[in-house]
Amino acid sequence: MPITSSSVFVVSGGARGITARCVERMAAHYGCKFILLGRSVLKDEPAWAMGAKDEPALKSAAMGDLKVRGEKPTPAAVQQMTNSVIAQREINETLAEIQRVGGAAEYVSTDITDGAAVKAAIAASSARMGAITGIIHGAGVLADKLIENKTQKDFEAVYAAKVQGLENLLAAVDPAQLHYLVLFSSVAGFYGNVGQADYAIANEILNKAAYFYRQQNPHCRVISINWGPWDAGMVTPQLKAYFEQNHISVIPVEVGAHILIEELESTRGDETQVVVGGGLVSAKIEAKGALKTYRLHRKLELKANPFLQDHVVDGHAVMPMVSAMSWMCSSAQSLYPGYRAFSFDDYKVLKGIVFDETLADEYVLELKEISKDAEQVMVDAKVSSKTHDGKPRFHYSTRIILTTQHLARPVYNNMDLTVRENIPGANFYDDYTLFHGFAFKGVERVLNISHDKVTMECRLPIVPPSYQGQFPVLSFNYFMTDIGFQSMGIYAKYFYGAGSLPLRAGGGEYYVDVAWGERFYVSLEIHQASETGLVTTMYIHDADGNLYMKVMGGEITISTRLNVLFTRNKLPEALG
Map 503-548 to HEC letters: EEEEEEEECCCCCCCCEEEEEEEEEEECCCEEEEEEEEECCCCEEE
User: Could you give the CA distance from residue 82 to residue 60 in angstroms, rounded to a whole number?
Assistant: 9
Q: Are residues 203 and 337 in the same domain?
A: no
Range of the domain at 358: 293-403
Q: In a 10 Å sphere around its CB, with 0-12 CB exposed, 13-18 middle and 19+ buried, how is residue 361 labelled?
A: exposed
pLDDT score of 388: 84
- Contact of 185 with 226, CB cutoff 8 Å: yes
CATH number where 432 lies: 3.10.129.120
Domain assignment present for 478: yes
Which residues are registered as beta bridge partners of 354? 318
C-alpha to C-alpha distance for 360 and 395, rounded to whole angstroms: 11
SS3 413: coil
Q: How far apart are the first and last CA of the chain?
A: 29
Q: Identify whether residues 149 and 95 lie together within a single domain.
A: no
Interstrand relation of 33-38 and 8-12 (parallel, antiparallel or unpaired):
parallel
Residue ending a domain, among 208, 243, 276, is 276
Q: Are residues 30 and 49 both part of a single domain?
A: no
Q: What is the CATH number of the domain that holds 20?
A: 3.40.50.720
Q: Characterize the bridge pairing of strands 312-313 and 293-298.
A: unpaired
Same domain flag for 370 and 436: no
Q: Which of 276, 281, 195 is nearest to 244 (CA)?
A: 281
At 405 the pLDDT is 85
Residues contacting residue 68 through CB under 8 Å, at least 6 positions apart: none
Q: What φ, ψ does residue 105 adopt, rounded to 5°?
A: -155, 155
Looking at residue 389, its pLDDT comes to 85
Does 135 share its domain with 70? no
Residue 552 included in any domain: yes
Which residue, of 227, 248, 276, is where some domain finishes?
A: 276
Please name the amino acid found at residue 435.
F
Quick check: 170 and 215 in contact, CB under 8 A? no
Q: Vertex 140, ends 122 and 11: CA angle to 5°?
A: 30
Residue 131 and residue 182 in one domain? yes
CB 529 within 8 A of CB 512: no
Same domain flag for 118 and 205: yes
Same domain, 240 and 378: no
Q: Domain for residue 244, yes or no?
A: yes
Which residues of the chain fall short of a pLDDT of 70?
233-236, 238-239, 242, 244-247, 268-269, 278-284, 574-576
492 part of a folded domain: yes
Check residue 277 and give its pLDDT. 78
**Is there a single domain that holds both residue 24 and residue 139?**
yes
- Total domains in the chain come to 4
| Distance, CA of 141 to CA of 156 (rounded, Å) | 10
